[in-house]
Amino acid sequence: TTTAYSVIADELARRTYNESGDYVITPFDVSVKESLNNNKGNNGIFNVGQFTYGGSTPSDSLAIYQISPGKAFVRGYEVETISSTFLDVEKPRTVKTLENQSIEYNTGPTLSLNRVFGSPTIGIGNTYVLSLRNERVGTSQTTAPGKEIGVARVYDFRLESGSYSTSNTNL
């Protein structure tokens, strides 16, 4: 039903939105929770036999979005909640498998080296580091020359130009 008050409220909301747009006074924080408590530390909200706030049966395939109290102006109208809101959400369970596919992986800047002896241990998920020195490789292949000026993790190592050469044919 349209009343004189609702017409005034709509006009004030329109002007507020035109002047300020949408904005938040007190943020609505969102956290994702397990719906079913497995009693093993997953911190699920509901036990077997209970129902969620949305009326669903808690399960491993159901998550709960907990939205904290907050206040905002949306399209010029004041929106405020004074307690948390809980929304039931189905967890995505669709799986697509791709085999023998390359994945572009960008970790940041690259470093070009020359006169490399040996090969670093490479890969993701390891803790190996490579010592970066302030002098070129000297005559000894067992003792690193100069002073260490940094360390790096190596994710890829390949020859870009030139050719491999070695005096040891047993390698």
What is the predicted pLDDT for the residue at 85? 94
Q: What is the CB neighbour count within 10 angstroms for residue 76?
A: 19
Which of 60-69, 101-110, 160-169 has the least mean pLDDT?
Answer: 160-169
Residue 7 CB partners (closer than 8 Å, separation 6+) = none
> With 70 as the cut, is the pLDDT of residue 33 above it?
yes
Tokens read off for 29: 């924080």
pLDDT confidence band for 107 (50 / 70 / 90): low
pLDDT confidence band for 21 (50 / 70 / 90): very high
In the chain, the amino acid numbered 158 is R
What is the predicted pLDDT for the residue at 102? 77
pLDDT digits over 115-139, tens only? 666 677 777 777 788 888 888 766 6
CA distances from 27 to 33, 64, 65, 84 (A): 19, 19, 15, 12
pLDDT digits over 37-96, tens only? 998 988 899 999 999 999 999 999 999 999 999 999 999 999 999 999 999 999 998 889
pLDDT confidence band for 144 (50 / 70 / 90): confident
Segments making up each domain of the chain, as ranges: 4-90, 96-166
Judge whether 155 and 139 are in contact, CB under 8 Å.
Answer: no
What is the predicted pLDDT for the residue at 165? 63
> With 90 as the cut, is the pLDDT of residue 106 above it?
no
Percent of the chain at pLDDT exceeding 90: 49
pLDDT confidence band for 25 (50 / 70 / 90): very high
Which residue, 69, 31, 62, 68, is CA-closest to 48? 62
> With 90 as the cut, is the pLDDT of residue 28 above it?
yes
SS3 124: coil
Cα–chain center distance at 80: 29
Q: Which residues pair with 74 in a beta bridge?
A: 77
> With 70 as the cut, is the pLDDT of residue 169 above it?
no
What is the predicted pLDDT for the residue at 103? 75
Tokens read off for 82: 């004074």
Judge whether 86 and 64 are in contact, CB under 8 Å.
Answer: yes
**Residue 5 host element (H or E):** helix 4-20
